């Protein structure tokens, strides 16, 4: 009987696919990711379901649209009893572990994981909540443009510390697994925080690029009045007239971002090298994706939190053992599709193990080249700060409809307008199509009830956070524990057996083959 396949899930933070060679970027250097892509199915229209860390990751892990599990912004938890990918795999015989960023909010810092190997880098409490009751307030934690004008090099940063720790812990875990007695297949998620701003990178990565080679935005700065209402809000809240952003600042920021992508690439390489060295690569599915993208100066916009392509599209490729060569999928897909896809690939009867219906769909047919039954669409939500009412996206085929409740909407034909320059919403030729999209939005999302749920969640978060920050503060956090008494030889048991236990050896003939 064939041994079930392992899963190595590699994830970047705030990485737009437009900045990867696998998606055609001519400057960025990612040889290790390119190596994965050369033997992967590559998805060209893969979307986050919410362009913000916490709801995007919640959708990925549960296969549900974030709004279905009441996860609207980065101050939202979701119930510990909602099944995740980790729950399903663990219940079906997998050891489930994560190294690096999880960004779970609340008391449950595992959500089905058996082990977390490192501390998180982001808050685990509900401090980053939206406030629609006071939409013009600039939130304490909101971005500004300091990260753009201070971009450059840093010998060391907390983000580097985090990603180096995550990589080291993942590598060590793979070797521990290979020389251990646990016979279960594994799910190991390694989640980096780069290339998320601040746009600084170590000198060795900065120096991989000639500064003059760094490309500038394809769409230059757009006057604020020409942006959609949400884009105007974002700009007015992170551009507070504190900094004058020049073309050189933009080039510096992009240079730092590219260097950080190469940093992620090197760290991915270290994990892949350990996988191969431990002889685990021939039976391990490898996935690479991100939670959302980064505008990186396109249209004069920065960071994420918008429905433009650089913000809401993400890279995704999946490499299955024994399948060589690359193949591209043009159909629309999204992060919520990853859970049912992996269950389909590694479990007998796959998605039959689901205990409830989910929003995600298995990508297995697309991976096999069968697109006949695939509904060519992806959807996304903006229910966080920066909006006064719900915002929803439907990408179907080449058309992308963006609905702002109570505000101007957008329709783009990405086949003929990939940079989203021409909004077709006022074009009479598209009035019937827009009416159908509008009706579908209100059928999919009960906007009035949904708005009340969002406001209630925000008000609860505001009260609970104020209370928890009053008096003695007890952090909601995950503290990784490593039993030092079981590492190396610490004076109990037989020394020779302990030393032998930690060897990972293969026959010499295997090494030379």
Q: How far apart are CA 101 and CA 9, in angstroms?
A: 12
Short-list 258, 112, 271, CA closest to 191: 271
Strand partners, 288: 10, 317
Give the active site residue among 53, 71, 76, 332.
53
**Of 158, 38, 177, 72, whose CA–CA distance to 117 is shortest?**
177
| DSSP state for residue 290 in the 8-state scheme | E
Dihedral (C-alpha) 68, 73, 76, 80: value to the nearest 10 degrees? 40
Residue 164 tokens, joined: 């180096």
Cα within 13 Å of Cα(78), Cβ side: 29
Nearest by Cα to 79 from 64, 98, 93, 92 = 64
- Planar angle of CA 350, 59, 292, nearest 5 degrees: 120
The question of whether 332 is a catalytic residue gets the answer: no
Distance between CA atoms of 315 and 335, rounded to whole angstroms? 10
| Size of the chain, expressed as the number of residues it contains | 513
Q: How far is CA 17 from CA 61, 122, 402, 498, in A?
A: 20, 23, 20, 46
Catalytic residue among 46, 87, 103, 255: 103
Backbone phi, then psi, for 291, in 5-degree steps? -85, -30
Q: Is residue 25 among the annotated active site residues?
A: no
188 prior amide bond cis, ω within 30 = no
CA distances from 253 to 5, 149, 160, 245, 290 (A): 40, 8, 17, 10, 20
Q: Please, what's the largest Cα pairwise distance for the chain? A: 82
Secondary element (H or E) of residue 367: helix 364-367
The neighbouring-strand residues paired with 201 are: 153
Catalytic residues: 53, 103
């Amino acid at each position: 009987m064939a041994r079930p396949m392992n899963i190595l899930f590699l994830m970047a933070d705030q990485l737009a696919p437009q900045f990867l060679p696998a998606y055609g970027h001519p400057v960025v250097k990612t040889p290790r990711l390119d190596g994965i892509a050369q033997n992967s199915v590559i998805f060209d229209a893969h979307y986050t379901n919410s362009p913000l860390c916490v709801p995007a990751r919640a959708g990925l892990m549960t296969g549900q649209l974030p709004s279905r599990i009441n996860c609207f912004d980065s101050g939202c938890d979701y119930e510990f009893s909602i099944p995740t990918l980790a729950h399903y795999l663990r219940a079906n015989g997998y050891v489930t572990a994560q190294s690096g960023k999880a960004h779970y909010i609340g008391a449950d810092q595992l959500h089905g994981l058996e082990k977390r190997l490192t501390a998180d880098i982001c808050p685990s409490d509900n401090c980053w909540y939206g406030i629609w009751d006071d939409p013009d307030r600039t939130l304490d934690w909101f971005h500004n443009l300091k990260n753009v004008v201070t971009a450059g090099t840093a010998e060391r940063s907390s983000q580097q510390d985090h990603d180096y720790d995550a990589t080291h812990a993942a590598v060590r875990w793979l070797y521990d697994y290979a020389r251990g007695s646990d016979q279960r297949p594994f799910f190991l998620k390694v989640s980096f925080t780069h290339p998320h701003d601040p746009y600084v990178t170590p000198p060795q990565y900065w120096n991989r690029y000639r500064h003059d080679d760094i490309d500038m935005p394809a769409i230059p700065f757009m006057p604020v009045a020409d942006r959609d209402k949400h884009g105007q809000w974002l700009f007015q809240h992170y551009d507070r007239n504190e900094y004058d952003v020049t073309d050189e600042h933009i080039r510096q920021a992009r240079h730092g971002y590219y260097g950080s992508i190469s940093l992620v690439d090197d760290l991915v390489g270290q994990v892949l090298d350990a996988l191969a060295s431990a002889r685990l690569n021939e039976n391990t599915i490898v996935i690479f994706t991100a939670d959302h993208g980064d505008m990186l100066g396109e249209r004069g916009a920065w960071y994420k939190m918008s429905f433009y392509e650089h913000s809401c599209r993400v890279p995704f490729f999946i490499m299955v053992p024994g399948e060589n060569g690359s193949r591209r999928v043009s159909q629309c897909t999204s992060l919520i599709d990853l859970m049912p896809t992996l269950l389909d690939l590694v479990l007998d009867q796959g998605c039959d193990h689901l205990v409830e219906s989910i929003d995600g769909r298995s990508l297995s047919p697309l991976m096999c080249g069968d697109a006949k039954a695939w509904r060519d669409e992806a959807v996304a939500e903006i229910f966080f700060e920066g909006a006064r009412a719900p915002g929803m996206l439907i990408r179907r085929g080449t058309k992308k409809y963006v609905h702002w409740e109570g505000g101007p909407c957008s329709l783009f034909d990405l086949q003929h307008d990939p940079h989203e320059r021409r909004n077709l919403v006022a074009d009479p030729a598209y009035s019937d199509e827009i009416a159908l999209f509008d009706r579908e939005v209100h059928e999919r999302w009960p906007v009035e009830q949904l708005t009340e749920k969002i406001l209630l969640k925000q008000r609860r978060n505001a009260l609970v956070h104020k209370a928890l920050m009053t008096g003695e503060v007890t952090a909601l956090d995950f503290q990784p524990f490593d039993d030092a008494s079981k590492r190396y030889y610490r004076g109990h048991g037989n020394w020779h057996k302990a030393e032998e236990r930690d060897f990972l050896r293969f026959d010499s003939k295997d090494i030379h083959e």
